[in-house]
Amino acid sequence: MSTPVIFDPMTLPSDDNVNSYTFCVELKASRWFLQKGKMIAYYGQINFDGIGHGRFERLVRSSFHSPLHASDWVVAEGSGKMLLADRAFDVNSFDLEDGNLTIRSGNLLAYEPSLALKQSIVPGFVTLIGTGKFVAASNGPVVFMEPPLRVDPQALVGWADCPSPCHHYDHGYMTGVMGGIRSLTGIGGTSGEEHQFEFVGAGTVLLQSSEALMAEQATGAVPNEPGVPGGGFAPGGGGTPRMPGQLGDLQRRFGL
Amino acid sequence: MFRLQGSKTLAVDLTGDGVKAKNGSMVAYDGRMTFKKLSGGGEGLRGMVTRRLTGEQMTVMEVSGQGTCYFADRASEINLVALHGDKLYVEASNLLATDAGLRTGTTFTGLRGGASGNGLFTTTVEGTGQAAIMSDGAAVLLRVTPQYPLMVDPGAYIAHQGNLQQHFQAGVNFRTLMGEGSGEAFQIRFEGDGLVYVQPSERNTVGGDV
């Protein structure tokens, strides 16, 4: 029988992975932002407080710019070592050096306050800007790819430095009445891969090696202003139900 | 003799002796095996009644024979625990198999269980031998010493052994009630000398959302 590794406060790694599913953060009278409920255990003296706590006003002003996600995030403060994990997903830490990275909001577990969290223009994503370390979860190990490339929406974890994430539709499968029926009903066969995200330019794209998504976080809605993508949509509200025979939203986008 | 075949399958080599395992967890065997459902986990009538009353139910079978028997359950990671006369406290749902010589029982855990959603009782395994416990994702073993108490999220706790006291720690304040809670309002605080097993995943708990 192999003897399992037993960790104590001395042997736990500092700001590194304990195993592929667990990450250990060392706090030395410092603060970290972490997503609610991702702490599984800690040694030492650590307090967890909601973002709205008055003492954090300065911290939040400099490194948290996403009021929509405020209720999902807490500040860990104190000294000790804490373990982070999420539903037995793989966790990895990444270092940003004066860089930027955009990531699906549910996949980001924790980050150092030297980074600033901002809500991305792309709904459901957040952007980290600055220098520091953050911890992200993915279903299966993360794969790094270089643009230009097209990725499956469910496999996308995030991207760094890429200036132009956009949607790509395989046009041939979508046009015409037959294409509409096909994409709507699946009759005639769809591969399920007609829609991708496309990245061009210099940068890195992070993919997970499965198409299982993290549970969507309830993020509320962005301000209802002209020009704000997603503004004015009530998520989940979903507009009028689609009638049978009505062509999908895709057709409208193609002007059909 | 317990050994791991990969991290998600337990292989037990049997030479005429027996092993107690979660009902239905056998995936394969070679040699000759007999499987017998043990009513009440082999704890006798008193154990059966206790389990029924405490809700810490576990259906156990006894496997005996010659050869190798393989156990697995829903692709959970399996951790082997060697017991030398000490006591292992584990949630019944996380216990996969024990040596036939180990005694299992039920014990009151105090307030902790209420918030962790695991019930107020937990299963104990004691004696000398091996046990296999399951976790969602590879478990992390954390040592607790008198200088270094450990706080654990109730949803991530799976088992502990050694001489540990556990206290239930609640950080509920008016912010929690206003929906500005930290999500970490409930913790189990372990003090003393021993080992705690945590899994990198949280069960859905009553306390998890506040």
Distance between CA atoms of residues A198 and A203, nearest Å: 13
Question: Is residue A87 within 8 Å of A139, Cβ to Cβ?
Answer: no
CA angle A236–A238–A242, rounded 5-degree value: 140
Residue of B nearest to A5 (CA): B141
CB pair distance less than 8 Å for B80 and A1 = yes
pLDDT tens, residue by residue, B104-122: 887 776 655 544 555 567 7
pLDDT (0 to 100) of residue A235: 43
DSSP code for A15: S
Residue of B nearest to A70 (CA): B180
Tell me which residue of B108, B76, B112, B110 sits closest to B95, measured CA to CA: B76
- To the nearest whole angstrom, how far is the Cα of A223 from the nearest Cα of chain B? 21
The CATH class for the domain spanning A16-138 reads alpha beta
CB pair distance less than 8 Å for B180 and A71 = yes
CATH 3.60.160.10 is the classification of domain B2-209 = yes
Sorted by where each begins, the domain ranges of chain B are 2-209
Q: Which of residues 78-107 of A touch B (CB under 8 A)?
A: 83, 85-88, 91
- Tokens 């895709």 locate to A250
* pLDDT more than 70, % of chain B: 74
CB pair distance less than 8 Å for A4 and B141 = yes
One digit per residue, pLDDT tens: chain A, 256 residues? 456 788 888 888 888 888 889 999 999 988 898 888 888 899 998 888 877 666 777 777 778 877 767 777 888 889 999 999 988 889 989 998 898 999 988 888 999 999 998 888 888 888 999 999 999 988 888 888 888 888 888 888 899 987 778 888 776 655 666 666 665 665 655 566 677 888 888 888 988 887 776 655 544 456 666 666 665 444 444 445 555 555 555 555 555 4
- Which of B2, B82, B198 shows the shortest C-beta gap to A40? B198
ipTM, two decimals: 0.78
Measured between alpha carbons, how far apart are the two ends of chain A, in Å? 66
Burial class (CB in 10 A: 0-12, 13-18, 19+), B64: middle
- Partner B contacted by A36 (CB < 8 A): yes
CB pair distance less than 8 Å for B148 and A49 = no
Per-residue pLDDT band for B56 (boundaries 50, 70, 90) equals low
User: Which of A40, A84, A86, A138 would you mutate first to test chain B, the one with the most B CBs within 10 A?
Assistant: A40
pLDDT (0 to 100) of residue B174: 52
- Residues in chain A with CB shorter than 8 Å from the CB of B140 are 7, 18-19, 22, 40-41, 83
Give one DSSP letter per residue of chain B, joined into a string: -EEEETTTEEEEEEEEEEEEEETT-EEEEEEEEEEEEEGGGGSHHHHHHHHHHHS----EEEEEEEEEEEE--TT-EEEEEEEEEEEEEE-GGGEEEEETTSEEEEEE-TTHHHHHTS-SEEEEEEEEEEEEEEESS--EEEEEBTTB-EEE-TTTEEEEEEEEEEEEEE---HHHHTT---S--EEEEEEEEEEEEE-SS----SGGG-
pLDDT tens, residue by residue, B76-85: 889 999 888 8
SS (H, E, C) A97-124: EEEEEEEEHHHEEEECCCEEEEECCCCC
Residues β-bridged to residue A160: A101, A204
Sorted by where each begins, the domain ranges of chain A are 16-138, 139-211+242-256
- Which of B156, B180, B209 shows the shortest C-beta gap to A52? B180
Tell me which residue of B109, B210, B142, B42 sits closest to A37, measured CA to CA: B210
For the whole model, what pTM was predicted? 0.78
